[in-house]
Chain A
């Protein structure tokens, strides 16, 4: 059976403290509940959740949806946003976890990456250093989401063409965003031409595609 591995990189830096982190928790758990009722997702989806602030933590290692349990995500009251460090950990994880097809082994679907941030990388050197390595992993799609007016769209653009902007990280917006994420995930397990990426479903009005 083919797995569809999906990685979530979530910004838990100081600016997320309070209402935004609550909203993120609710939206994530709503998304998981939605996916749980999707026949295709229940059969193939594997999820990994990595959070980053000063520290980078793998809060849920790559787990199949049927066994997946989302812990409550918390964040410090202040501190830097180590996006680069998070990409570094992600790179290591993806390299060791993804199963490639061989004559004797069934490979995974191309993994998907969702990066959610409300700020900009504090470790910009490392961030830029990791970008080509992450691109070389051959994700089916990398979707970066910038929430709020402090998030830097142009830096995310360096990582991927798929950058979306949310005006705020409030509960309703995040809910809509993660609903769109689950729709995108449902696109992930279809046959594509070698080298092509996953097509994204049309986003709802709350989400602005950054061109």
Chain B
């Protein structure tokens, strides 16, 4: 050991120890044993010290990321000392966590706690490596991103009441509708409230005592269309206006007669008559809505595209033998009819959904009227009775049913009704007792439910 050290030292000075001089070397080593041992020790210390500096430099340059945290959400992260290649660390500590309401456990190298405020925080990581003096402390800065609590970020900015197309941010109503009750509420979504923009959804309904028919309409203006709030409003109102103006007289009397006949004995003929009646009446209503919006667009020298809106509506009439339910729909808002026993759901329209979120069709698109799928947008049902008839916008359907397939599942509808009746996080209850005059307010409150990522306008109409 001493020999080879000395040889290497001499060699670094270009002095080669030849065989003939080995004996001198042996004696030299004996005579200077202590000094050589000391020199070896000094060199080793220097190397160790250099290696420590080297390691510190590496650690400083190393990109280390702590997973992001969120305000108000419990956080725990173990700093993987070994995995980071820091196995020579003998002491670690952190500075800057206390202020966030968090702590570092240096026994187990765990950061934990619930951060109290957001930001791009700089946390000092203090450490000592093996071989360093006890008082030495090295420092590395960790970036620690704490996201704000998303719920705290939503602002509620009122919409501009001076706008020509202003509408209330929230509205609700409950009334008798023929021999049933209707409750309906429509509320501006958080995404609109956050930006101070308008509610794009709308609804309308009316019962006509002279004919016995009721009509309920719901529409969802396209978020991307600047005047959509007016589009949805015109769409909803104009089908009511059309019903009032044109859906009356002899043809309804004839329909009532055929329907009674159909109920008694359904034939190809009665079926055909009804289909034609439904198609002719409702397609005119839908087209009337389209024309009314177009007129408004022309009047304001705008493109009808600026008024893009979906539209669903239902005509309902009570007969001695049951209820006739006629529907039309364009867009992604479903109409559901639940039987008395809550054992069966009839989805009364198909939804226009594209491959991508938000891609749908609108009653403002002229091509829907000429499409060969147009005839499939109508439905007719004659039922003995029903428990609920619901029309909703995607602001309800997205968070509560999530996907289209769930709209055909009775269990999902049962959950939905239980949710309305109070089985929800916020414990808000909608009481469907016909005596309950407060139900409109209740439904409006229920519409405030929290659902991460679902902040669209919400409109729900329920006939019960």
Residues of A within 8 A of B (CB): 1-2, 33, 36-40, 42-44, 65-69, 71-72, 100-110, 138, 140, 187, 189-196, 198-199
CB distance from B70 to the nearest CB of A (A): 6
Give 19 new A-B contacts, CB below 8 A, not counting A2-B398, A106-B402, A195-B359: A1-B452, A2-B453, A36-B145, A36-B147, A37-B118, A37-B153, A39-B455, A65-B147, A66-B147, A69-B68, A69-B143, A71-B63, A102-B403, A107-B354, A192-B222, A192-B224, A192-B360, A193-B365, A196-B224
Q: Give the 6 A-B CB pairs with smallest separation, nearest first.
A: A190-B223, A1-B453, A39-B153, A191-B358, A103-B405, A2-B357
Q: With the chains together, A1 CA to B150 CA distance in Å?
A: 14
Residues of B within 8 A of A (CB): 63, 65, 67-68, 70, 118, 120, 143, 145, 147-148, 150, 153-155, 190-191, 194, 220, 222-224, 305, 308, 332, 352-362, 365, 394, 398, 402-405, 452-456
CB <8 Å contact, B405 and A192: no
When the two chains form the complex, which single residue of B68, B118, B308, B355 contacts A107, counting CB atoms closer than 8 Å?
B355
When the two chains form the complex, which single residue of B355, B361, B402, B452 contacts A43, counting CB atoms closer than 8 Å?
B452
When the two chains form the complex, which single residue of A37, A44, A100, A109 contacts B148, counting CB atoms closer than 8 Å?
A37
When the two chains form the complex, which single residue of B120, B353, B355, B358 contacts A190, counting CB atoms closer than 8 Å?
B358
Query: Which A-chain residue is minimally distant from B308 (CB atoms)?
Result: A193
| A42 and B150 in contact, given A33-B120, A193-B308, A193-B365 (Cβ under 8 angstroms) | yes
CB distance from A196 to the nearest CB of B (A): 7
A110: chain B residues at CB < 8 Å are 356-359
Q: With the chains together, A107 CA to B402 CA distance in Å?
A: 10
A interface majority secondary structure: loop
Q: With the chains together, A57 CA to B436 CA distance in Å?
A: 63
Q: With the chains together, A17 CA to B220 CA distance in Å?
A: 50
25 A–B pairs (Cβ distance < 8 Å), ordered by A: A1-B453, A36-B147, A37-B148, A37-B153, A39-B150, A68-B68, A69-B145, A101-B357, A103-B404, A104-B405, A105-B403, A106-B357, A106-B402, A107-B354, A107-B356, A108-B357, A110-B358, A191-B359, A191-B394, A191-B456, A193-B224, A193-B305, A193-B308, A193-B360, A196-B224
When the two chains form the complex, which single residue of B143, B154, B357 contacts A39, counting CB atoms closer than 8 Å?
B154
B359: chain A residues at CB < 8 Å are 110, 191-195
CB <8 Å contact, B356 and A42: no
B332: chain A residues at CB < 8 Å are 191
Q: With the chains together, A199 CA to B225 CA distance in Å?
A: 9
Q: With the chains together, A123 CA to B360 CA distance in Å?
A: 38
CB <8 Å contact, B308 and A39: no
CB distance from B458 to the nearest CB of A (A): 14
CB distance from A128 to the nearest CB of B (A): 26
CB distance from B270 to the nearest CB of A (A): 33
A65: chain B residues at CB < 8 Å are 147
CB <8 Å contact, A43 and B403: no
CB distance from B300 to the nearest CB of A (A): 18
Query: Which B-chain residue is minimally distant from A42 (CB atoms)?
Result: B150
